[in-house]
Amino acid sequence: MNKRILVFAILSLIWGSTWLFIKIGLDVLPPLTFAGLRFGCSALILWAIVWARKTAVPKNWADWRVIMWTGLMGMSINYSLIFWGEKYITSGLAAVLQAMIPAFGLVLAHYFLPNEKITWRKSLGVATGILGVALIFSDQFKLAGTMALAGSAALFASAFFVATSNIIVKAQGRNIDPLVMAAGQMTIGVVPLFLIGTIWEGNPLHLAWTKAAVLSLLYLVVVGSTIAFAMYYWLIRHMDVTKTMLISLITPVIAVALGMMTLGEGLTWPIVIGTLLILVGVGAIVGEQLIAKFLRVTMPSQSNG
């Protein structure tokens, strides 16, 4: 198997599984403190790798300003919304709503990245995805009430903030090493998570740890953050960045399947239809030709004899 495709598949599986481990950890750990612990530990590991590789660290304020703002949006706000919202909805649904990141990114890129203008086909993709989100919101409110609707809205909003963070990185952070960028974002991001978490959720030293909570945190730190980031940065150096966007089509499917198999999370028809609308919308944004090219790469070549 092509090494790029193997890394792509493993990365999709990892990012599809993190939603399950977040849900398991949230049974015991408060959301903001849980998120802070995840990225605080991950930042330490990433900085150790940066030091071992003797990677250049930015020395100018402009680069650190990019790291600061994207750390606050992509880590602090994004993951506080994700961890809080997933307390009230299923792990699979959380992953589905986060799949709206490319849709938000497309709209933002139209205004802030001159070379990435929106098209009618992509506009239709955004509209289709939003229709799917609206259907899911309606279903969650009817079945589980206000908190489930609020949890869904939190995941939807988180997709906007991480998309904004990605656009800023693409526009202003091209000269920053990706590993340094991730480590810096995590370092900046965990400060508000811990401060607000301590105020609202209590002393993090007094958490009631269980075996499941410890395993969830370890998986998210080592596999879901450190290994996943390393694989992703390798992948974007060896595969077109636009092709890596296909991950956003695969991870929700994996997350839904894992949630059903391990946690007994159910599905309703509005969620199924809404999920399909979101994935179709994101697929339209990524591009039909891109998907076709990707499938041709993954298919083994045929030869006579």
Q: What is the DSSP string of 101-141?
A: HHHHHHHHHHHH-TT----HHHHHHHHHHHHHHHHHHHHHH
Is residue 74 domain-resident? Answer: yes
Is residue 228 domain-resident? Answer: yes
Separation of alpha carbons 145 and 138, rounded Å: 10
Is residue 303 domain-resident? Answer: no
**The domain containing residue 283 runs over which residues?**
3-298
Is residue 114 domain-resident? Answer: yes
Q: What is the pLDDT, as a whole number, of residue 281?
A: 84
Stretch 251-263: mean pLDDT: 90
Quote the distance between the C-alpha of residue 107 and its chain's center: 18
pLDDT at 45 over 90: yes
Quote the distance between the C-alpha of residue 59 and its chain's center: 29
**Tokens at residue 244, please?**
């890596």
- Asked whether the beta carbons of 26 and 220 are under 8 A apart, the reply is no
- Asked whether the beta carbons of 89 and 140 are under 8 A apart, the reply is yes
* CA nearest to 74, candidates 164, 174, 180: 164
pLDDT at 298 over 50: no
Stretch 276-296: mean pLDDT: 66
Q: What is the pLDDT, as a whole number, of residue 240?
A: 62
Which residue would you say has higher pLDDT here, 148 or 283?
Answer: 148
Q: What is the pLDDT, as a whole number, of residue 3?
A: 84
pLDDT at 125 over 80: yes
Q: What is the pLDDT, as a whole number, of residue 77?
A: 97
- Asked whether the beta carbons of 105 and 162 are under 8 A apart, the reply is no
CA separation, residue 297 to residues 4, 176, 196, 302 (Å):
10, 30, 46, 12
Neighbours of 123 (CB within 10 A): 15
Stretch 175-184: mean pLDDT: 90
Specify the number of domains making up the chain: 1
Q: What is the pLDDT, as a whole number, of residue 68?
A: 96
Residue written as token pair 């945190």: 217
If residue 208 lies in a helix (H) or strand (E), which one and from where to where?
Answer: none
Is residue 95 domain-resident? Answer: yes
* CA nearest to 186, candidates 224, 219, 237: 224
Q: What is the pLDDT, as a whole number, of residue 242?
A: 56
If residue 194 lies in a helix (H) or strand (E), which one and from where to where?
Answer: helix 178-201
Is residue 305 domain-resident? Answer: no
Stretch 101-115: mean pLDDT: 80
pTM for the whole structure:
0.85
CA separation, residue 116 to residues 112, 244, 245, 279 (Å):
9, 17, 15, 21
Identify the three-state secondary structure at position 264: coil
Is residue 184 domain-resident? Answer: yes
Is residue 117 domain-resident? Answer: yes
